[in-house]
Amino acid sequence: MMRIIDSRPLLDAFLGALRPAAGRAAQVTGAPPVLAIVRAAENAGSAAYAARIRATAAQAGITCHEVPLDTRMDGTALCAQVAAVSATPGVNGMIVLLPLPAGTSVPQVMAQMDPDKDVDCQQPLNLGRVMAGTPLYLPCTATAAVMLAQGMLGDLAGVNCAVIGASASVGRPLALQLLDRGATVEIVHIRTRDIADHARRAQVIFAAAGHAGLVDGAWVSPGAVLVDIGINADPTGRPGVVGDINAAAVAQQAAAITAVPDGVGPMTTGILLANTVHAASRQAGVDFTYPDLTTLAAYQALRL
């Protein structure tokens, strides 16, 4: 029977472990850590993510500043706004939510942030630190996905992992973080020939293609662990979101699958907030270490 992994209890425990660190930074600066959220295009997905961040931040003792949505901005105006948010005293970290208005350059907009406030780990300097094995901030989605897999399996050393999707913000940092943990990693994508054959060889499949229900039963070998990173509009037009994995089609083979949207999503927010407390702590000269998951009962409960 395929187990469905909901990470909300883990997020609660993680935020509980993070809150004292947020308090220590606040004691020095006189105010809670501040995360600025920039959202520049109308989009149901980014609106939902912004709402989730706001709700979750309060639980960790973090204040959110949401920058008013102005969808008429062109690229130049948006760059100026992002630079202004980054330069605002008291803002410790920031996230620019995608999508951006059509015709704006994502790398150019991201480049306006002070790397020290780039808690969503989008800038080349912070990506490069991940690549070099010396991350400053943890890439949010990739780290959340690896944490859940590691929670389910205990140790990823020598485990065959397939990463479906090679994006700079998710697939690539995910592959590197898996290598850091000793996993064998295959990265497959839209140009891969016989992608199902590649996926079937994996003990863990990470689906980050952004394609609703892409992974079906023929892609999954018996006992595989599935981490679904996709957040897609439901192609049947129903409200709500669906993942990259067709959960019904894999239920007979897979050992476990992460829920959508309550699997990788909640912990992605948790890592973003932990990075924000890290930023606030560094800026205040206060020591910070990321919460140790292995001590949390909700993490131990993931183990298959």
Q: Which residues bind a copy of itself (CB under 8 A)?
A: 107, 123-134, 157-158, 160, 166, 168, 172-173, 175-176, 179, 182-189, 191-193, 198
The three-point CA angle 58-59-62 to 5° equals 45
Separation between Cα atoms, residue 149 and residue 225, nearest integer Å = 8
**81 vs 122, which CB is nearer to a copy of itself?**
122
* Amino acid letter for position 59: Q
The distance of closest approach from Cβ of residue 235 to a copy of itself in the complex, given in angstroms and rounded to an integer, is 26
The distance of closest approach from Cβ of residue 248 to a copy of itself in the complex, given in angstroms and rounded to an integer, is 28
The distance of closest approach from Cβ of residue 105 to a copy of itself in the complex, given in angstroms and rounded to an integer, is 10
**72 vs 191, which CB is nearer to a copy of itself?**
191
**85 vs 127, which CB is nearer to a copy of itself?**
127
Separation between Cα atoms, residue 302 and residue 227, nearest integer Å = 13
CB neighbours of 108 closer than 8 A, spacing ≥ 6?
A: 75, 79
Using CA atoms, how far residue 247 sits from 50, 138, 162, 174, 220, in Å, is 26, 28, 17, 22, 11
105 is in an annotated binding site: no
257 is in an annotated binding site: no
284 is in an annotated binding site: no
**191 vs 238, which CB is nearer to a copy of itself?**
191
111 is in an annotated binding site: no
271 is in an annotated binding site: no
Separation between Cα atoms, residue 51 and residue 269, nearest integer Å = 11
* Amino acid letter for position 302: L
Tell me if 105 sits within 8 A of 97, measured CB to CB: no
**74 vs 197, which CB is nearer to a copy of itself?**
197
- DSSP letter, residue 215: B
Separation between Cα atoms, residue 209 and residue 179, nearest integer Å = 20
**102 vs 132, which CB is nearer to a copy of itself?**
132
The distance of closest approach from Cβ of residue 237 to a copy of itself in the complex, given in angstroms and rounded to an integer, is 33
The distance of closest approach from Cβ of residue 92 to a copy of itself in the complex, given in angstroms and rounded to an integer, is 21
Separation between Cα atoms, residue 167 and residue 151, nearest integer Å = 24
The distance of closest approach from Cβ of residue 275 to a copy of itself in the complex, given in angstroms and rounded to an integer, is 16
Known binding-site residues equal 165-167, 190, 231
Residues in the annotated binding site for NADP(+): 165-167, 190, 231
